[in-house]
A and B are shown apart, each in its own frame.
Chain A
Amino acid sequence: MTPRLARWLVRLYPRDWRDRYGEEFEMLLLDGPGGFHALANVLLAAVREHLVTPITPGVIMSQSPDSILIQRPLMGALAMTVPSLPLLVYLAVHATEGWQLLVVAALLAGFVVALIRRSRIDLAISYVATVSLFAWVVWVNH
């Protein structure tokens, strides 16, 4: 992985996390082979870190590592769903073909299903897909 990409990926993590692990994590990214899987893994992990309890060095928790993941589900769900809605409306308004509307509908359905299933990973995928599509549409139109 290139130093520039590694630095950019570390910046996606919450500030507390970066302060504690940023430097060593960047070195790990530089040491690794990189590639699509590593990139996707880091992107999803960065989203997850924004949803988990902030890192508090020295504070020892009594739960298992599995159970302490995502302790703020409602806040996390709202943080991803609410900003996505105007993006989806923008995409729907600017859709010029039927299939584009279908994509927007699929993304909206993704959020609904993720919220019903309370699946954090589905929510994260819907969020990343919506933001990526929005960024792409804005880039293409300007």
Chain B
Amino acid sequence: MRSTRDVVKAPADQLGHYSDPPLLVLASLVSGPKHGHAMIEDIAALCGARLGPGTLYGAIARLEQQGWIEPLPAEARRRPYRITPQGARVLRAKLATLRQFVRAGTRRLETA
């Protein structure tokens, strides 16, 4: 069985990438409208996670249904999406929660 010591010794990039597809899509679209392939590349550059096409469109469908992103007219059969004001609010709230988590986690690490 793998011990926790192995995990601690592992370089950070071996622990996997952060992956929350809806959040990553929102974070990608906040810098401007993008179509699917551009989103995958942007997210990979943003955090190292490369979303599969099925995962990406699963997230896009749910986010659109929520009204957090909206489609723009298709360009050469590729449809760009943009974040809505409501989506930006959700992203801001989610990032604030993550920031709080990072701060609390870092504090605990420092005192451990």
- A residues neighboring B (CB under 8 Å): 17, 20-21, 23-29, 31-32, 37-38, 40-46, 48-49, 55-57, 59-61, 64-66, 68-69
A28, A59, A64: the one within 8 Å of B57 (CB): A28
Check: B49 CB closer than 8 A to any chain A CB. Answer: no
A23, A61, A66: the one within 8 Å of B65 (CB): A61
Query: Contacts A24-B36, A31-B37, A61-B65 known; A66 to B22 CB distance under 8 Å?
Result: yes
Q: DSSP majority for the B interface?
A: helix
9 pairs from A and B in contact (CB 8 Å cutoff): A17-B61, A24-B77, A32-B40, A37-B52, A46-B54, A56-B65, A60-B66, A65-B59, A68-B62
Chain B stretch 58-75: residues in CB contact (< 8 A) with chain A: 58-68, 74
Check: B99 CB closer than 8 A to any chain A CB. Answer: no
The 9 closest A-B pairs by CB, nearest first: A45-B54, A41-B52, A28-B36, A65-B62, A60-B67, A65-B22, A42-B54, A31-B37, A24-B79
Q: DSSP majority for the A interface?
A: helix
**Which residues of A lie under 8 Å from residue B57 when comparing CB positions?**
21, 25, 28, 45
CA distance A84 to B76 in the complex (A): 41
**Which residues of A lie under 8 Å from residue B60 when comparing CB positions?**
21
CA distance A45 to B79 in the complex (A): 20
CA distance A57 to B70 in the complex (A): 10
CA distance A61 to B63 in the complex (A): 10
Q: Least Cβ distance of A2 to chain B in Å?
A: 14
**Which residues of B lie under 8 Å from residue A57 when comparing CB positions?**
64-65
Q: Least Cβ distance of A70 to chain B in Å?
A: 11
Check: B48 CB closer than 8 A to any chain A CB. Answer: no
**Which residues of A lie under 8 Å from residue B66 when comparing CB positions?**
60-61, 64-65, 68
CA distance A141 to B25 in the complex (A): 46
Check: B78 CB closer than 8 A to any chain A CB. Answer: yes
Q: Least Cβ distance of B64 to chain A in Å?
A: 8
